[in-house]
Amino acid sequence: MKIYIDISVLTLATFITGIQRVTREIILHLLESGKQDIVLLHYNAREDAYHIIDNQRFIRYYRQHRGVKNRMITKRKQAVQDMGRGDVFFELDAVWMCRVRRSFLLPLLKRQGVRIVVHIYDIISVTHPQYCLERGVYQFMDYLGAHLQYADQMIVNAQATADELQRLAERLEIPLPPYHVVPLGADFRQRQQVSEAEIPENVRQAAGSSPYILMVGTIEPRKNHRLLLQAYDMGLRQAGYHIILAGYMGWHMEEFERALHAHPDYNRGIFHFDGLGDDAIDYLYQHARFLAFCSYAEGFGLPLLESVQRGTPVIAADIPVSREVAGEYCDWFRQDDAADLCRVVMEYEDEERYRRRKEGLKGYRPAGWAQCCERMRRILV
């Protein structure tokens, strides 16, 4: 049995964030376990063909930070018609962005007896299309519709996502394929104190200038970074807080970016960093007063757990999936309510209360990627 995984989006990605981080981590664990025959694929649009990726070069590049990414892709081709009964096609990457439409590919695989397993991170493009790229919404609908029709099994990371899928299937009057809830791991790396000498000076200066509230992740509409900026003007600045945004500027954020750069406190009390490495992100997590998580919608919300894992308290918008993922380890504010966000922060001006909150986070033990990937592997086989 071979497990085929199309990672064309990961191999072409300039930034490794969100889904690409998860895809990379799951594949690394599957490869390193050595328990299955994993075939990684890259679609070459010019040749209209899949090329096989060298597994050892993949490990060397993404685990050991050695080699050249493009050299992972070999000249060996994998014909779709050569995949057959007993094989598995595992949809793990953000494949709705691929040139190969799933409404075309999946019926071919199904007729050849290939078992199709899909990892669905969320269905935000369906439930909250206003926060997504228009082109991406249409591509995602093709992807999701094809998997609702042809997938043999689905993997989701939260019951909240499974519930949304079930409601969608009921509206469409179709059966939902069998699904498994497998929470993501949070141990991308061992928890450790980062050496300041390895951190860019401007990051150290921003982190050391005042207590700060951190947001981590791509700056895009559904993440609601605007709310933290409002809270800063509404009371956080007066209380002595700075804010730091760590993530690259995404789509439809031109107005926000202009407002951010035009703010009189930009680069004095409000900071934005993009392209930071893992060490710098770790450093910001470890030194933040709070992580803010303001999203309108999520599939899981890894920054919640990454922050808790590092002992940094989290204040989060009250949405079902975040409650499911982080529960007792977060303090909650009403979604899209900057005044309520400020209220939660001000409640921790009592240093004894803040100390107790941090102490309570020490009991958190994150689900590991090894555990997550082993559960997925058992589903695949």
Print the domain residue range for 234. Answer: 196-361
* Torsions phi, psi for 338 (to 5 deg): -65, -35
The answer on 213 and 324 residing in a single domain is yes
Per-residue pLDDT of the chain in tens (381 residues, 90 and over written 9): 999 999 999 998 876 777 888 999 999 999 999 999 999 999 999 999 999 999 999 999 999 889 999 999 999 999 999 999 999 999 999 999 999 999 999 999 999 999 999 999 999 999 999 999 888 999 999 999 999 999 999 999 999 999 999 999 999 999 999 999 999 987 755 545 667 888 999 999 999 989 999 999 999 999 999 999 999 999 999 999 999 999 999 888 999 999 999 999 999 999 999 989 888 999 999 999 999 999 999 999 999 999 999 999 999 999 999 999 999 999 999 999 999 999 999 999 999 999 999 999 988 887 789 999 999 999 999
DSSP state letters, 60-89: HHHTS--S-GGGGEEEEEE-GGG--TT-EE
The answer on 237 and 374 residing in a single domain is no
Element (H, E) at 316: strand 314-317
Q: What is the CATH number of the domain that holds 87?
A: 3.40.50.2000
Question: What is the side-by-side strand order in the sheet with 330-333?
Answer: 270-273, 242-246, 212-216, 290-293, 314-317, 330-333
Return d(Cα 323, Cα 184) in angstroms, integer: 15
- Give the residue carrying structure tokens 């490794």: 16
Element (H, E) at 59: helix 55-62
The answer on 101 and 62 residing in a single domain is yes
Give per-residue pLDDT as tens, 134-144: 889 999 999 99
Return d(Cα 248, Cα 218) in angstroms, integer: 5
Give per-residue pLDDT as tens, 239-284: 999 999 999 998 889 999 999 999 999 999 999 999 898 889 999 9
Residue 72 lies in a domain: yes
Residue 36 lies in a domain: yes
Closest Cα to residue 215, out of 272, 151, 133?
272
The answer on 216 and 271 residing in a single domain is yes
The answer on 203 and 145 residing in a single domain is no
Closest Cα to residue 293, out of 274, 319, 328?
319
pTM higher than 0.75 for the full model? yes
Q: What is the number of domains present in the chain?
A: 2
Residue 351 lies in a domain: yes
Residue 190 lies in a domain: no
Give the total residue count for the chain. 381
Cα 345 to chain centroid distance, Å, stands at 25
Record the tokens describing residue 14, joined without a space. Answer: 């300039």
Closest Cα to residue 143, out of 91, 178, 179, 89?
91
Record the tokens describing residue 70, joined without a space. Answer: 């493009």
> b vs e for 292-305, b when ≥16 Cβ sit within 10 Å of the residue's Cβ?
bbbbbbbbbbbbbb
